[in-house]
Structure 1
Amino acid sequence: MLILRTMQNKRICTLGVIITIWIFSLHLVRAYDVKSPTALTIKDSPDDLNRDEESQLHDDDDEDLEVFRPTDKWQTLKPGQAVPAGSHVRLNLQTGQREVKLGEEERLKYLRDGNGPGTINVQNPSFTSQELKEALKKFKEGLDDSADTKQEEDAVRAQFRSMEELKKDMAALDMLVETDVQVMRRLLNQFNDTNSTTEEKVTALHDLEYLVHQVDNAQNLVSMGGMQLVVNALNNTDIRLQESAAFVLGSAVSSNPSVQVEAVEGGALQKLLTLLATQRPMMVKKKVLFAVASLLRHFPFAQSHFLKLGGAQVLSELFQTTGADALRVRIITILYDMIIEKELISQVGMDLIPDSSHQERLRQYAKVSLLPVLVEQGWCNLVPELLASPEHDWREKALRTLLAMMAQCQTQFKQNPTLIYSLNELQIQYRELVLTEHDVGEEDGYFGEILALVDSMMVKLQ
């Protein structure tokens, strides 16, 4: 019996252990099935993980964050508020607060949906009282924006003045805009005023010279009687007025035939030659030569009148004056231009169908017998003197003038040993200079042109 009871007790203990293990297993399985904040959950798929995270974030936003609904105006963002994607956020440096408004795409959608200032959603014809109040509020905000815009426009407009205001200010400052004619009339009045000082008259002539470069202004000078005032000023005893008047005259007649006629008929050429033939400072004679050259250029009537007044003789005496080296090249240029003009007009006449105007120019140039006068007054021996100058420009102009005079001066050139010697020396010198030009890659340089002129002279004198 004892043995049997002992065996029964062992069975009861074994059954209790089994039941205890089974109950513990049930609790363990339940623990795995229940989620806890600290439980580690393993997902089989990344998609399931993303869905759970998005769901958790969405739940957190709905529970913890207040979503701010921006409009198309900047509004202050409170702490803890979230904004929709695509919104513009900025930091107001004055207040230190963040501000937000709709992005461009959202703003357009906002306006299309009838949420903009002063708009009503026409897709929903039924409106509540609250909706009408909101619409009226937004409409008033739109009016306030328009008022602000108008204020900005007024502020910008206030920075500028109207033309009427400018005219009043200029009139108050005596700075009314003048036309060229008005300026010229004022300058002529200043020059002709007996109360004006010499300095004021010189200033008026300088300002006038700047204006008469234009063809119309030079012609207006004639019509206003100013040309005669300028010509008469050449006789003034003050050398500053003589110089300035010659400068104005030369600028006015340059390439202006109608003004050239008025100047010649007004006695300008005779007065200019008088200044060249008498004792005058070099600065005066330079301006006078400029006026003579401008008056004679392309004007055969003036050239003929120049020869009748003894202009070639006046230039010859000036050429030989001691200390007049700076004027020599100017004188040679005047003579060369007169010779070439006549030759060119004759050559052009052979290629063109003659008309009345061209025939008249040929007739006028036929009256200009310059070369015989130059031979008679010794220019065949005067021009070669410029070849002794160290200036290449002077030599070039002298050679061109000698070639232009060759038809009338060839015999005298051949009998001038100084000329032959100078040409030989120049030929040697410029051949070396041409080689120097070739070394630096200049095949048709300036020295080559001068050498060609020297070679032409040598050929014609053989």
Structure 2
Amino acid sequence: MQLPSRSAAGAALLLLLHCCQLASIVGQKSALTVVKNPDGREGGGADEEAEVTVDEDEGDLEVVQPTEDWQTLKPGQAVPAGSHVRLDLQTGQREVKLGEEQLKYWTQEHRETEEIQSTISPDELKWAMKKMKEEQNSERQDTDQQLTDSVASKYRSLDELKRDLAQLDLLVETDFQIMKRLLDQFNSSNSTTEQRLSILLELEYLVHQVDNAQTLCSMGGLQLILEGLNSTDIRLQERSAFVLGSAVSSNPVVQVKAVESGALQPLLTILATAQPLRVKKKVLFAVAALLRNFPYAQRHFLSHGGLQVLSELFKADGGGVLRTRIVTMLYDMISEKELISQAGLDLVLDASHEERVHQYSLVSLQVELLEKGWCSLVPQLLESTEHDYREKALRALLAMAPVCLDQYRSDSALLGSLLSLRDQYQEMVQSEMIVGEENSYFAEIVELIHALQVKMK
């Protein structure tokens, strides 16, 4: 509500007299600023504001410390100099807050105080880190203890398990004890053929470990296997060959004992006689494992007519399964001799390596392959429709090339097969490239064909 001009002047006069009275009461200087209304007339109201300056001689009065916000002054209270004071003419209450200079000083002082408080000395930091680490260790110990208690509540202790096993009268056997028990059962006159077959299967599982295979030989198990190979029961022959192949695989000690015990002769006999395919597959597995990386056994194999036996088996196999295994075995034998010969070019050689190089030099495998007609046998495997069979045949042909090149060049069937296969696999490679495939298996076969053709030129 706006007052007439005369009333507004009177209100301003009353405000001036009231401020003068306040100054006389507190005994300090004061300054009053009258704020005009928006319409330009002097007047008073709830929003009128005055700036009061009071000296800091407090006397007996209570001095109120202003803040950034307006606060009501009670009768008898004084304020510091530079404070803003306003009078609400409607309620007659005085209100005070910090002046601009005071606010600036208070804000700067407050900021410096906060910075001082936020600064932590090195000793305080070390103490805080030490306390934090102690608390973490304490929490971790509590967690570990809870976990230990939880696990302990779920599982029984070792002593409890031993006590329970003793009550059940159980016997935990070692591999040695198991193999001894199996051999005793096999040699028992009460054992049936089915039981012996089951025993051989258990032994095959155990001899995959090098130590177990050697232990089986020392216990007389090798002789038991050889008796199985000489059995008239083809099931015992198959299972015994399986055990022998697993025992000699990557186990030079057992390889030597097997050759010295005459294991090659019964194996070649089975291959040379009419036997089911499954038996001959297991026997070929045993022969390949016995000859691998063992030139001494390879010499015995050649001297016992091994290549001739394999040649007859190759010719009789129509499906290609045995052919592929035979060609793979021959390729491995040629490759390992070649690798040993290349390694022999090194300047630093130990005595054992020199001995191996010498033993391989006594194995005339390539010459035997030429004499036994393998230069014309291996190309027959290219007639197979299986890509894997063709790949193995091509690798074997490349390995045999040093002694078979003349026969390769005169073999029109081989030349025609290579041309046909090259065109076929190049088309497959092109098809794969169209769909975004590169470095495919078929491209590798094309490279093998090209390498063989280059050698034959």
AA of the residue aligned to 1:350: L
What value does the CA root-mean-square deviation take over the aligned residues? 2.3
AA of the residue aligned to 2:378: V
Local SS of the residue matching 1:231? helix
Deviation at 1:159, TM superposition (A): 7.6
* Identical pairs, percent: 62
Q: Are the aligned partners of 1:231 and 1:263 in contact in 2 as well (CA < 8 Å)?
A: no
What's the CA shift string for 1:308-349, capped at 9, x where partnerless?
A: 000000000000114452211000011111111111100011
Pairwise mapping of residues 378-397 of structure 1 onto structure 2 (< 5 A)?
378-397=373-392
State the alpha-carbon separation in 2 of the partners of residues 161 and 229 from structure 1: 43
Q: Are the aligned partners of 1:380 and 1:412 in contact in 2 as well (CA < 8 Å)?
A: yes
Pairwise mapping of residues 282-297 of structure 1 onto structure 2 (< 5 A)?
282-297=277-292
Pairwise mapping of residues 45-444 of structure 1 onto structure 2 (< 5 A)?
163=158, 166-167=161-162, 169-170=164-165, 175-323=170-318, 325-444=320-439
Local SS of the residue matching 1:320? helix
Distance 1:446 1:324, change over 3 A: closer
State the alpha-carbon separation in 1 of the partners of residues 260 and 346 from structure 2: 33
Query: What is the TM-score normalised by the length of structure 2?
Result: 0.65
Match among 435, 439, 455 for residue 450 of structure 2: 455
Structure 1's consecutive aligned runs of 4 or more residues displaced over 6 angstroms after TM superposition are 156-159
State the alpha-carbon separation in 2 of the partners of residues 177 and 436 from structure 1: 60
Local SS of the residue matching 1:350? coil
Q: Are the aligned partners of 1:243 and 1:287 in contact in 2 as well (CA < 8 Å)?
A: yes
Q: Are the aligned partners of 1:318 and 1:324 in contact in 2 as well (CA < 8 Å)?
A: no
State the alpha-carbon separation in 2 of the partners of residues 171 and 331 from structure 1: 54
Distance 1:172 1:314, change over 3 A: farther
Distance 1:165 1:195, change over 3 A: farther
Deviation at 1:166, TM superposition (A): 3.7
Deviation at 1:352, TM superposition (A): 4.2
AA of the residue aligned to 2:414: L
Query: What is the TM-score normalised by the length of structure 1?
Result: 0.64
Aligned residues between the structures: 314
What's the CA shift string for 1:427-448, capped at 9, x where partnerless?
A: 1011111112222333211111
Distance 1:374 1:165, change over 3 A: same
What's the CA shift string for 1:229-286, capped at 9, x where partnerless?
A: 1122110111111111100000010001011000100111111111111111111110
AA of the residue aligned to 2:186: F
Distance 1:172 1:288, change over 3 A: farther
What's the CA shift string for 1:182-201, capped at 9, x where partnerless?
A: 11111111222221111111
What's the CA shift string for 1:158-193, capped at 9, x where partnerless?
A: 986554554455456564221111111111112222
Distance 1:416 1:189, change over 3 A: same
Deviation at 1:454, TM superposition (A): 0.4
State the alpha-carbon separation in 2 of the partners of residues 401 and 459 from structure 1: 16
State the alpha-carbon separation in 2 of the partners of residues 158 and 332 from structure 1: 61
What's the CA shift string for 1:346-405, capped at 9, x where partnerless?
A: 001112413211110011001100111111111111000011111111000000000111
AA of the residue aligned to 1:343: E
State the alpha-carbon separation in 2 of the partners of residues 182 and 234 from structure 1: 25
Local SS of the residue matching 1:351? coil
AA of the residue aligned to 2:387: H
AA of the residue aligned to 1:392: H
Local SS of the residue matching 2:348? coil
State the alpha-carbon separation in 2 of the partners of residues 172 and 279 from structure 1: 55
Local SS of the residue matching 2:316? coil
Bigger mean CA deviation after superposition, 307-316 or 180-189: 180-189
Distance 1:369 1:232, change over 3 A: same
State the alpha-carbon separation in 1 of the partners of residues 159 and 178 from structure 2: 23
State the alpha-carbon separation in 1 of the partners of residues 200 and 158 from structure 2: 33
Distance 1:284 1:170, change over 3 A: farther
Q: Are the aligned partners of 1:167 and 1:176 in contact in 2 as well (CA < 8 Å)?
A: no
Deviation at 1:227, TM superposition (A): 1.5
1:107 maps to what in 2? Answer: none
State the alpha-carbon separation in 1 of the partners of residues 397 and 235 from structure 2: 36
